[in-house]
Amino acid sequence: MFKPTLSVLALFICTAPALANEESLASLGTHQHGLTELFVAIEQNQLEITISSPAYNLLGFEHQPHTPEQKAKLQQVTQQLEQADQLIWLPQQAACQRTKVQLTQPNDHDHDHDHDHDHDHDDQHSDWLVHINYQCAAIDKINQLDVKPLFTAFPLIEKIQMQLISPDIQTSTRFTAQQTQWKW
Ligand SMILES: [Zn+2]
């Protein structure tokens, strides 16, 4: 059911009914500031991690940057996310090498599709997606991860809902700044 070319998010959307719980589908419709999601897929020697987050959690705002400070913040955060593999700690013995990091802002728009609604452009919402792909020499050694650097880098993240899927396991958990490690 899983092809390496398929994005993790598409996979989770396909399998969502099996995994659904109250908050796991936030990226599919609702948008809750403070909540960031992590989708982890393991297949053969490949690991794909997708971070799905309201831009607010990363930047502190969701509108287009206006001030020099906001423009600088956007640039800084973009650079941080281009190194997103450094924001999640994996077991060293799994020997995972980042192969690609892709940053997209699929919902970054001005709500111009919604003419019936009174939208203040400073009140728009924006979600960011970061796809991180790895090749791992010993992928069976991945049995834990730690998202502490994510919480440290982005203090506006209050909780991270994680879903993991591999040939052997489907599981989910929730991280907070006090609870950043998960073993399975
Ligand atoms: Zn928002």
Give 31-62 pLDDT, tens digit per residue: 899 999 999 999 999 999 999 999 999 999 99
- Asked if residue 1 is part of any domain, the answer here is no
Q: What is the pLDDT of residue 105?
A: 83
Distance 127 CA to ligand 1 centre (A): 8
Query: Does 3 map to a domain?
Result: no
For the chain, what is the total number of helices (H) and then of strands (E)? Answer: 4, 8
Quote the mean pLDDT of the chain. 83
Q: Is this model's pTM higher than 0.85 or not?
A: no
pLDDT for 112 equals: 45
pLDDT of residue 115: 44
Residue type for position 183: K
- Does 162 reside within a domain? yes
Ligand 1 centre distance from Cα of residue 125 (Å) = 4
Centre of ligand 1 from the C-alpha of residue 2, in Å: 32
The whole-angstrom separation of Cα 142 and Cα 58 is 27
Q: Is residue 68, in this structure, part of any structural domain at all? A: yes
Q: Domain of residue 59: give its range.
A: 8-110+118-183
Residue-wise pLDDT tens digits, 13-26: 544 444 444 444 44
Ligand 1 centroid–CA 52 distance in Å is 12
Query: Number of folded domains in the chain?
Result: 1
As beta bridge partners, residue 101 has 132
Calculate how far, in angstroms, residue 62's C-alpha sits from the geometric centre of ligand 1. Answer: 6
138 Cα–ligand 1 center, Å: 39
Distance 15 CA to ligand 1 centre (A): 26
Q: What is the mean pLDDT of residues 92-101?
A: 97
pLDDT of residue 18: 41
CB neighbour list of residue 65: distance below 8 Å, 6 or more residues apart: 71, 73, 74
How far, in Å, is the centroid of ligand 1 from the Cα of 61? 8
Q: How far apart are CA 144 and CA 181, in angstroms?
A: 7
**Given a cut of 70, is residue 1 above it in pLDDT?**
no
- Gap from CA of 136 to ligand 1 centroid (Å): 35
